[in-house]
Structure 1
Amino acid sequence: MLEAPLLSICIPAYNRPNWLQRGLESIAVGEGSDIEIVITDDSDTDQGQAIASEVLKNWSGSWCYEHHQQPLGMAQNWNRAIQWATGQYVMVLHDDDFFLPQGLGLLVNKLRQLGSSSPVLLFGVRVVDAQERVVKRQGFRQDKLLPPHDALIRLFSDSSFVRFPAMVIRRDLFTEVGYFNPDWREPCDLEMWMRLFARYGVYCCREATVAYRVHGQALTMGSFHGETVNILLRLFGELEKLNILTTRDIEFCKGLFFHQYILAGAWRQLRRRRWREFKQVMGLFDLPELKSLSCPVKWRFLRGLFSLT
């Protein structure tokens, strides 16, 4: 029996062939003997297969491709890729993201160094725009294990604490905690991180490995509305049921999370001079469910400034 690869890079694709090619090229420049690539494609055509065949023709790792005549949808496409994976560890690299130079090598070396002792890992990222200009460097000064309580505090007090492609998860955990639940809609990734962190905490790694692209085509661009707020509030209710955080902890997190979430969404619209959409996002603060939230000190100036815009 062949030994399982160390890492499965799962790429759920959707109608971004040029960026899919970019992501594959960032993998193919490195050694692939202990890596597999799994591409599950919800795109309108199977163009991704020809792209993968060309980019990966001389790559030393293994790869597979599946095109869906009927799109599975966001979360189920993620799940399908993970279910195809055979690696000891799994990461999901969206088709608009890519590895930094030497990023994949750093990631693999870290996994070899840690062995199976750290089932949930979070690496550093470079947040980039559509032209790959770095707009933010996000990471950790040193390696640190956050136990469940501390991990959940970070997760629910900072809406950008986890950038999806920076998460690396031991594959067998999915049989224990389950897969992404599409019923949670856009925040279904946050719900998954909650389940994982509640059981295992998270090991934060100082290495920056991937670029996370922020752009107008991202599915999250349309998530700043009242329906998503209600889903997030229900998620805070699920967090409370875990009995890991105190009521005071949860209220502290809620104030930070929703201010960052709304102000970040408003800034995205403001940068694109979408004034009507900007006002709509800022209007989320007036929802009855959020009106009672106190504004944390770190967000008071920006909220005040945006309120005058």
Structure 2
Amino acid sequence: MSHSPILSICIPAYNRPLWFHRALESIVIGNKEFESSVEIVITDDSSTQECEEIMRQVCCQWSGQCIYEHHPVRLGMVENWNRAISLTTGQYIVVLHDDDFLLKDAITNILATIKAVNHPVLLFGVEVVDEQERVMKRQIFKENQWLSPRDALISLLSNSSFVRFPAIVVARSAFAEMGMFRTEWREPCDLDMWIRLFSRYGVYCLQDVTTAYRVHDQALTMGVFNEQTINLLLGLFAEVKQLNILSSEEIVSCKALFLYQFILAGAWRQLKRGRLQEFRRVMELMDISEVKNLPCPKKWWMLNSIFRVLSNGLRI
């Protein structure tokens, strides 16, 4: 290409060819007018060649830049994200996981926002869908607004679902300045990245809804509700304290809101699938000393009480 694209859309793929197909088509189909402005970057950690075959089939309809790389030896989740980002040439980057997809007019809205809003971190609305793409909830902002580093951190750290990964658009220059996802933080490494970006730039929140975030049993996040993850999250809150942006009282309040929501959400995922022993195991995370010593937020008091009764009943 004679010039750099405005937007790079990365798909780090891993053994979900049908959903990968859906994600890729959501970029290609109906967006021909943006071929010179958008590049597609696919880094494939899959154990088969199915995604490559799908890429060739779908991207034959795309005359814009398309980069594909298959890894004979799996990189792993975090390094696969980083590899995709490292291959981009666009001014801004979206990481679209292979189980998520863009909504109609997403690229139109993202490109228009990049042109209109001179900010390195953009956060759009998202539809949370199930495996059949039925909308479970819409997570949207009431108005377009910039949040300062302090306000952005409070929003991020008091709501474990504040950032849905495919809804965040980041300038490549911001990744260059702040660095890539850090593997030492394992599953919460995305939260570590948002903390670093928000503490430096704040975040510009947009009303437009651009992506669908799919909730399903195959998601790698289904396995994060354990003591190791809680300890990593506590470590991230300790890092936030060192930034000297939030007061000690604000950090305690955010920590309680975040961890109660995180644990209760994990317990609910198990409960609605009828996995009662897994539900009880997740609820036992509330007994970790640093969590137990946090005040239960009013927002989560009723649900926590109900889940506690159910969990205790399973002990009998």
TM-score exceeds 0.5:
yes
Relative to structure 2, which stretch is displaced further, 104-113 or 195-204? 104-113
- One-letter code aligned to 2:169: V
Give, in whole Å, the separation in 2 of the partners of 1:225 and 1:79. Answer: 25
* 1:218 maps to 2:219: yes
Residue 237 of structure 1 aligns to a residue in which SS? helix
Give, in whole Å, the separation in 1 of the partners of 2:110 and 2:143. Answer: 15
- Number of aligned positions between the proteins: 307
Shift of 1:255: 0.7
Identity %: 56
- One-letter code aligned to 2:182: N
Cα distance per residue 1:16-69 (max 9 Å; x no partner): 000000001111121322100000011002221110111121223211110001
Give, in whole Å, the separation in 1 of the partners of 2:172 and 2:209. Answer: 21
Give, in whole Å, the separation in 1 of the partners of 2:105 and 2:178. Answer: 32
1:55 corresponding residue in structure 2: 58
1:88 corresponding residue in structure 2: 91
- The match for 1:39 among 42, 48, 52 is 42
Note the 1:248-287 alignment, pairs <5 A: 248-287=249-288
Relative to structure 2, which stretch is displaced further, 54-63 or 140-149? 54-63
Give, in whole Å, the separation in 2 of the partners of 1:158 and 1:216. Answer: 22
1:104 corresponding residue in structure 2: 107
Shift of 1:113: 2.1
Cα distance per residue 1:163-192 (max 9 Å; x no partner): 000010000111211100011000000000
Note the 1:36-185 alignment, pairs <5 A: 36-114=39-117, 117-185=118-186
Give, in whole Å, the separation in 2 of the partners of 1:60 and 1:159. Answer: 39
- One-letter code aligned to 1:139: I
2:290 corresponding residue in structure 1: 289
Give, in whole Å, the separation in 2 of the partners of 1:104 and 1:303. Answer: 40
Task: Give me the TM-score of the superposition, normalised by structure 2.
Answer: 0.96
Cα distance per residue 1:182-239 (max 9 Å; x no partner): 1100000000000000000000011000000010000000000001000000000000
Residue 172 of structure 1 aligns to a residue in which SS? helix
Relative to structure 2, which stretch is displaced further, 102-111 or 179-188? 102-111
Residue 210 of structure 1 aligns to a residue in which SS? strand
Give, in whole Å, the separation in 2 of the partners of 1:177 and 1:46. Answer: 34
1:24 corresponding residue in structure 2: 24
2:313 corresponding residue in structure 1: none
Q: Any gaps of 5 or more consecutive residues in structure 2?
A: 311-316
Residue 140 of structure 1 aligns to a residue in which SS? coil
Cα distance per residue 1:239-284 (max 9 Å; x no partner): 0000000000000001100110000000000010000000000110
- One-letter code aligned to 2:11: I
Shift of 1:106: 1.4
Give, in whole Å, the separation in 2 of the partners of 1:72 and 1:140. Answer: 35
Runs of 4+ in 1 over 2 A off after TM superposition: none
Shift of 1:84: 0.2
Give, in whole Å, the separation in 1 of the partners of 2:94 and 2:248. Answer: 33
Residue 20 of structure 2 aligns to a residue in which SS? helix
Q: CA RMSD in A?
A: 0.9
Give, in whole Å, the separation in 1 of the partners of 2:179 and 2:27. Answer: 28
